[in-house]
Each structure stands twice: as structure tokens, then as C-alpha cells.
């Protein structure tokens, strides 16, 4: 195959294609380290002598606003809400059998935090499933409970945004799934 010359790789076309895939004001998005937020604006600012176009993302739950440069969206992990298909996979994962590794808690905690901060609903569902305690099971430690609640909240907020319901209703739905007797 012949090599492509630099004139064939037209950068303006790539830039235009990227702009059409980005977000609009009002879109719900997921930032891996903070969960579900809403794009409230697209600003142009001069920072350090450079003109930047920034997505302004508001996280109502945390009373936080994040500005993400348009050029850095892909590297930052900022993404659109998951599809219903992905959320269904997460719910299926939630219904599965808990897989608790026999590693030291500190190591497992790091793995759980990494899964939560990945922003992937299926990975977050694994954390919720693995840390969920039924009524017949022993109490969780404080740190287990904290990680469980963080994962449950992240998953519930994305489900709520996808299904257009209140986060409390989504949380109740998840807890009901978790407490249902497993079929296998």
C-alpha cells in the first residue's frame, strides 16, 4: 500500500469532524473522577496567552464546576451518558455473583477506587456487587462502606440520567436488584 502524504491528512477536516461529535449545552456527560454532570456552557478564554475553547460542566450534587478544554476532552475521559444497552449490562453485572478476592484490603480498595474512577458503568457495578452486604452477612468496615456508597451513588446517578428519573428512585431500583435472591 502506498504511504499517505502529509497533504492527504487534512487537519481542518479532522477538526471539523471532531467538533460535530462533541457536546452541546444542556447535555448530560460523565467525567470519570466526578460522575454525571451537565454541560452548562461552552466558553472561549485566553489562558497563559493561549485561546482555549472550554466545556463548562456543572456537577450539582458536588456544587462544583469543571472547565474542560475541547482539545482535551478525549484525554480527560469526558464522555456522553452510556446507552441503555451498556446500562443493561451494568444491571446484569449487578445481579451476578460477588467476586471477592482474597487480597489485602488496601490492595482491593485501590482496585475498587480505580474501577469507580474509570467511569465505566459495568466496572462500577462490579464494585457495588462485590461490596454489597445482605442482611445475613457481616457488617462492612467504614472504608468498605464508603467505597460501596461512592460506587452506588455514581451508578445510580448515571442510571437516573439515562432513564430520566430521580437519583433516589435509581438508588432504590439498584438496592432492590441487589437484595433480590440470585437465580444462580
How many distinct structural domains can be found in the chain?
Answer: 2
Residues 159 and 88 occupy one common structural domain:
yes
Residues 112 and 165 occupy one common structural domain:
yes
Looking up cell 440520567, which residue turns up?
161
Residues 94 and 52 occupy one common structural domain:
no
| pLDDT at position 39 over 70 | yes
Looking up cell 491528512, which residue turns up?
9
pLDDT score of 20: 45
Residues 68 and 117 occupy one common structural domain:
no
Give the mean pLDDT of 51-65.
Answer: 90
Residues 114 and 42 occupy one common structural domain:
no
Could you say which of 38, 53, 80 is where a domain stops? Answer: 80
Instruction: Determine whether 84 is exposed, middle or buried from the number of CB atoms within 10 Å of its CB (0-12, 13-18, 19+).
Output: exposed
| Of 112, 37, 123, the residue nearest 76 (C-alpha) | 37
| Of 163, 131, 160, the residue nearest 146 (C-alpha) | 131
Domain with 39 in it:
11-80
| pLDDT at position 98 over 50 | yes
Backbone angles phi, psi at 160, to 5 degrees: -60, -45
pLDDT score of 15: 40
Give the mean pLDDT of 171-184.
Answer: 80
**Residue 53 belongs to a domain with what CATH number?**
2.40.10.170
Report pLDDT digits (tens) over 129-164. 999 987 777 788 999 999 999 999 999 999 999 999
Q: Is residue 4 part of a domain?
A: no
| Of 45, 69, 65, 36, the residue nearest 55 (C-alpha) | 69
Q: Is residue 129 part of a domain?
A: yes
Residues 91 and 174 occupy one common structural domain:
yes
pTM comes to 0.81
Q: Is residue 1 part of a domain?
A: no
| Of 144, 163, 154, the residue nearest 123 (C-alpha) | 154
Q: Is residue 2 part of a domain?
A: no
Could you say which of 30, 46, 80 is where a domain stops? Answer: 80
Amino acid at each position: 500500500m502506498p504511504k499517505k502524504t502529509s497533504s492527504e491528512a487534512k487537519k481542518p477536516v479532522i477538526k471539523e469532524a471532531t467538533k460535530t461529535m462533541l457536546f452541546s449545552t444542556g447535555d448530560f456527560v460523565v467525567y470519570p473522577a466526578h460522575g454525571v454532570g451537565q454541560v452548562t456552557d461552552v466558553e472561549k478564554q485566553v489562558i497563559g496567552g493561549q485561546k482555549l475553547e472550554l466545556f463548562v460542566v456543572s456537577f450539582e450534587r458536588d456544587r462544583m464546576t469543571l472547565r474542560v478544554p475541547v482539545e482535551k476532552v478525549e484525554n480527560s475521559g469526558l464522555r456522553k451518558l452510556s446507552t441503555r444497552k451498556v446500562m443493561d449490562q451494568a444491571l446484569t453485572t449487578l445481579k451476578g455473583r460477588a467476586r471477592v478476592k482474597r487480597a489485602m484490603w488496601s490492595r482491593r480498595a485501590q482496585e475498587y477506587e480505580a474501577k469507580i474512577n474509570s467511569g465505566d458503568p459495568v466496572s462500577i457495578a462490579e464494585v457495588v456487587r462485590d461490596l454489597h452486604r445482605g442482611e445475613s452477612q457481616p457488617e462492612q468496615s467504614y472504608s468498605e462502606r464508603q467505597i460501596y456508597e461512592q460506587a452506588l451513588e455514581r451508578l445510580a446517578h448515571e442510571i437516573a440520567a439515562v432513564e430520566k428519573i430521580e437519583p433516589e428512585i435509581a438508588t432504590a431500583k439498584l438496592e432492590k436488584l441487589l437484595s433480590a435472591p440470585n437465580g444462580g
